[in-house]
Structure formats: structure tokens, C-alpha cells
């Protein structure tokens, strides 16, 4: 039985949702439950196991769902605060995302799938008119896909300062030559991927380490045709290759491309910073799990944890709407730290409840666990968010101590008068 829409919306934020937002939330919920969740099984049946077709064909059901979503107005809902978006707030989209995340196909069906969402935001914020026309418009229309190439082997790529892919300008300065390797390039395996955003070191001589990198816009299909850019292999995560989307290793060997930058040279670091089945029928010792007090208590604990992280995410979204992402760093860090950790913990508990079945292909738990675990790295590792949050809290403590010291010194002087 499907729960009412209001049961998914915390009471404390209901007055922050516009009539249009509420209406769209209802449409998203219905679309995911009635169209997308049933389509997940169809999608994986249509996905070829033939290695020669697995990375060249997209399950046809995707285009059917995209057409239905566009007709319903469920398209690009993530673009909050941009003229190219439909006008929803981050809070409203955050509420929609809790439904979209229940289905494998729902994000792509509504053009809210990674890495295209982050790439489209970068284009919307920094692209020139030519880049907007060539790449942003077809991405917004769902006609092409994109990939983001940042991560490199053997280094902590979550810190953009470590990126070492060489990008040397030609003598005329209109082209650039790339040498090096990227990996875990999300979306690079998709046959529809037409544009790569590549983080590379373009000005290594800069005294400011934060001004040495740029984001280069590359026509992916032209680059691959030269033979100087190669997709070496799709990388597996917990045994999944995520075809046809893929997380790929891409090698550049003297690849010469136009010196086409997103925003300005040396602004790469700035751009990266802005981007960034039920158990009721199982038995134990002859009794249903659902009747066991320990299991019932565990279910209650999991519900509390889910409600907590939901509120943390919505708090961050609301803070961004009110004061902007820069002033919402604390809330963003807390949500990014706690949400994937907690979800992973809950999925791990569910696997344990199911026993061997929990790690088989008969439940979605292993794939869900993989996704949750990957998010603790893909969206910036826990350590990076903890470091940022800890420094901010330490600074607050230092400021308070200094204030108390000043008050104490002043009080001491006054007491001598």
C-alpha cells in the first residue's frame, strides 16, 4: 500500500513548498511508483549480456520513460536557481529525490541523473554562449550524455590540487595536448556520451597552487576517433560494471584538442568546489522475523535513523535556498557525512537479516550497498567533509575563547577601578 504524499514531507517544511512544488511532488511519486519501479526489471532484461552490445546499446525502455516524464513536466527538476531550470527550490527537489532514488531508471527518465546533473550545473553557471548551444542545450533536452574526468590513479583526487594530467598548449595557443590517465570517469562508457569535462593542470608555473588547473571541454566522440584518447576498460564496483553508463579508465596519449575551457584558465579548482524487499516472510527458529521483539526494535531504530538523515538533507537544501551554498557549508558537510554512512549501515543490517539471500542476485541489497558505499568517496570522502567541518567548529571555539579572554581582561581592569 502506497503511503500518502504528506507522510513523506516533514511537517516543519510543508509551508516552504510552493503549490507548483507540491503538485510536482505528487506527480513524481506517482510516476516513480507506477512507471519507473516496474520498469527497472524490464531495463535489466533489455540490457544485453553480449560484450559487443553491452556498451553500444541502451535499453529501449529509457526513451519511452523519458517521453512520458517530459509530457508530465518531470524534467530537469534539479536546476534550482538557474534560468535554465523549471523553478523549483533545492528543498523541493530534495523531496522529489527521495522518490527518484527508489528506482534505477527514474533519474535518467527525468534527466536528473549523475554525472549529467553536475555537468549541466557547471555549464549553466560558467559556459559561454557557444558552449551552451553546443553542449548545455542538448544535455538539457536529454539528447546526449556527458562524463566528468577528474579522478586519477594513486593519488587523493578528492583534493583537486593533486590532479596531475598534463595539458600543454601548442605554440599558437589555440590547441592543447593531453597526456595521462583518468579513471572512474562516470558516464564515459555510454554510447550517447558526447562531451567530457576534464580536469587538467594547465598552468603549473603559477605560484598560487589553486590557480594551476582548468576544466577543459572536449568533444568525446572526436577525441576517441583520433585514437589518441582510449577507453581502456570499465571499472567494476562490487562486481558491477554499471553498463552502459560505466565508470571507466580513460587514457590520453598526445591528444590534441581545441583549447576550450569552461570559465577561465586556472579556475578549475573553483569550478570543482562548486560542483562537487521486505523481511516479513522470513523465519527464525520457526517464527516470523516480524514477530520477534529484537527485530521490531531494530526496525524502529532504522526508521529513526532514516528520519534523521532526511531532515539533515532537507535542512541543507533549505539553507542553500536561504543564504546560498557558501554559507551552508556546515549543513552540507553534515548531510554528506551522515547520509551515506547511515544508509550503508541500514543496508548492511538488511543483508544480515536476509542471510545468504541478501548477497545474492535475488535481492537489490548488494547493489544498494555498493551505491551507498561509493558515495562516501564519490561525492568527496568522509575525511574531506570531516576536515572542513572540524576546522569550522575549531575556529568557532577559538573565536569564543578569544572573546571570553577579552571580557575577562576587561572585567579585571574594571574591578581595580
Please report the DSSP string for 63-102 in residue order: HHHHHHHHHHT-S-TT-TTSTTS-S--HHHHHHHHHHHTT
* Least confident stretch, 27-31, 33-37, 54-58, 269-273: 269-273
* % of the chain surpassing 90 pLDDT: 55
- 3-state DSSP assignment of residue 254: strand
- The predicted structure's pLDDT at residue 17: 95
In tens, the pLDDT along 262-320 reads 988 988 888 877 776 445 555 554 556 666 677 788 888 989 999 999 999 999 999 99
Cα torsion through 107, 160, 270, 216, rounded to 10: -70
What architecture (CATH level 2) is domain 283-397?
Up-down Bundle (1.20)
Residues 189-207: tens digit of each pLDDT = 999 999 999 999 998 888 8
CB neighbour list of residue 249: distance below 8 Å, 6 or more residues apart:
181, 182, 183, 184, 185, 231, 232, 233, 235
Fold of the domain spanning 145-274: Butyryl-CoA Dehydrogenase, subunit A; domain 2 (2.40.110)
What is the model's pLDDT at position 146? 97
* Average pLDDT, integer, range 331-335: 89
What is the predicted pLDDT for the residue at 367?
85
pLDDT at residue 285 in the model? 47
- Of 165-169, 271-275, 280-284, 322-326, where does mean pLDDT reach its minimum? 280-284
Domain 5-113 has CATH 1.10.540.10: yes
Name the pTM for this structure. Answer: 0.80
- pLDDT for 355 equals 80
Query: Hey, which of 112-126, 229-243, 365-379 has the most confident mean pLDDT?
Result: 112-126
Domain ranges in the chain? 5-113, 145-274, 283-397
Indicate the pLDDT class of residue 96, thresholds 50, 70 and 90: very high
Cβ 271 vs Cβ 202: under 8 Å: no
Report which DSSP code applies to 212.
S
CA triplet 202, 145, 335: central angle to 5 degrees?
Answer: 80
Distance CA 379, CA 371 (A): 11
Fold: same for 5-113 and 145-274: no
State the DSSP string of 136-168: IHHHHTTS-EEEEE---TTS-TTSGGG---EEE
Average pLDDT over residues 140-156: 89
What integer pLDDT is reported at residue 94 of this predicted model?
A: 93
Mean pLDDT of 82-94: 92
CB neighbourhood size of 213 (10 A): 30
Helix (H, G, I), strand (E, B) or coil at 202: coil
For 336-361, write each residue's pLDDT tens digit.
889 999 999 999 999 888 887 787 77
What is the structure's pLDDT at 277? 47
Instruction: Specify the higher pLDDT residue, 2 or 47.
Output: 47
Mean of the per-residue pLDDT values for the chain?
88
Amino acid at each position: 500500500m502506497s503511503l500518502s504524499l504528506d507522510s513523506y514531507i516533514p511537517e516543519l517544511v510543508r509551508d516552504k513548498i510552493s503549490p507548483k512544488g507540491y503538485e510536482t511532488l505528487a506527480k513524481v511519486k506517482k510516476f516513480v511508483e507506477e512507471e519507473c519501479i516496474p520498469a527497472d526489471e524490464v531495463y535489466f532484461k533489455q540490457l544485453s549480456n553480449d560484450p559487443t552490445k553491452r556498451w553500444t546499446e541502451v535499453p529501449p525502455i529509457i526513451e519511452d520513460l523519458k517521453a512520458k516524464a517530459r509530457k508530465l513536466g518531470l524534467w530537469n527538476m534539479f536546476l534550482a536557481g538557474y534560468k535554465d531550470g523549471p523553478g523549483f527550490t533545492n528543498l523541493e527537489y530534495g523531496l522529489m529525490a527521495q522518490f527518484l532514488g527508489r528506482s534505477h531508471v527514474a533519474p535518467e527518465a527525468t534527466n536528473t541523473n549523475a554525472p549529467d546533473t553536475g555537468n549541466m550545473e557547471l555549464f549553466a553557471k560558467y559556459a559561454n554562449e557557444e558552449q551552451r548551444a553546443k553542449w548545455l542545450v542538448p544535455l538539457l533536452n536529454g539528447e546526449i550524455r556527458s562524463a566528468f574526468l577528474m579522478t586519477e590513479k594513486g593519488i587523493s583526487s578528492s583534493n583537486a590540487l593533486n590532479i596531475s594530467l598534463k595539458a600543454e598548449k601548442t605554440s599558437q595557443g589555440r590547441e592543447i595536448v593531453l597526456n595521462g590517465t583518468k579513471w572512474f570517469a562516470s558516464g564515459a562508457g555510454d554510447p550517447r556520451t558526447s562531451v567530457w569535462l576534464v580536469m587538467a593542470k594547465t598552468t603549473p608555473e603559477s605560484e598560487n597552487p589553486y590557480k594551476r588547473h582548468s576544466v577543459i571541454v572536449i568533444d568525446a566522440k572526436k577525441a576517441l576517433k583520433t585514437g589518441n584518447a582510449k577507453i581502456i576498460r570499465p571499472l567494476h564496483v562490487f562486481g558491477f560494471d554499471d553498463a552502459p553508463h560505466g565508470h571507466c579508465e580513460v587514457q590520453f596519449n598526445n591528444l590534441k584538442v581545441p583549447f576550450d575551457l569552461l570559465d577561465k584558465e586556472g579556475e578549475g579548482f573553483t569550478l570543482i568546489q562548486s560542483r562537487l524487499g521486505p523481511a516479513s516472510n522470513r523465519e527464525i527458529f520457526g517464527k516470523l522475523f516480524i514477530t520477534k521483539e529484537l527485530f521490531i526494535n531494530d526496525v524502529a531504530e532504522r526508521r529513526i535513523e532514516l528520519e534523521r538523515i532526511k531532515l539533515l538533507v532537507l535542512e541543507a537544501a533549505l539553507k542553500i535556498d536561504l543564504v546560498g551554498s557558501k554559507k551552508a557549508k556546515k549543513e552540507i558537510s553534515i548531510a554528506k557525512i551522515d547520509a551515506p554512512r547511515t544508509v550503508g549501515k541500514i543496508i548492511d543490517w538488511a543483508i544480515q537479516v536476509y542471510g545468504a539471500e541478501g548477497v545474492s542476485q535475488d535481492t537489490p541489497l548488494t547493489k544498494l550497498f555498493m551505491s551507498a558505499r561509493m558515495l562516501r568517496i564519490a561525492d568527496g570522502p568522509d575525511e574531506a567533509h570531516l576536515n572542513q567541518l572540524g576546522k569550522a567548529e575549531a575556529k568557532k571555539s577559538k573565536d569564543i575563547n578569544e572573546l571570553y579572554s577579552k571580557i575577562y581582561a576587561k572585567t579585571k581592569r574594571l574591578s581595580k577601578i
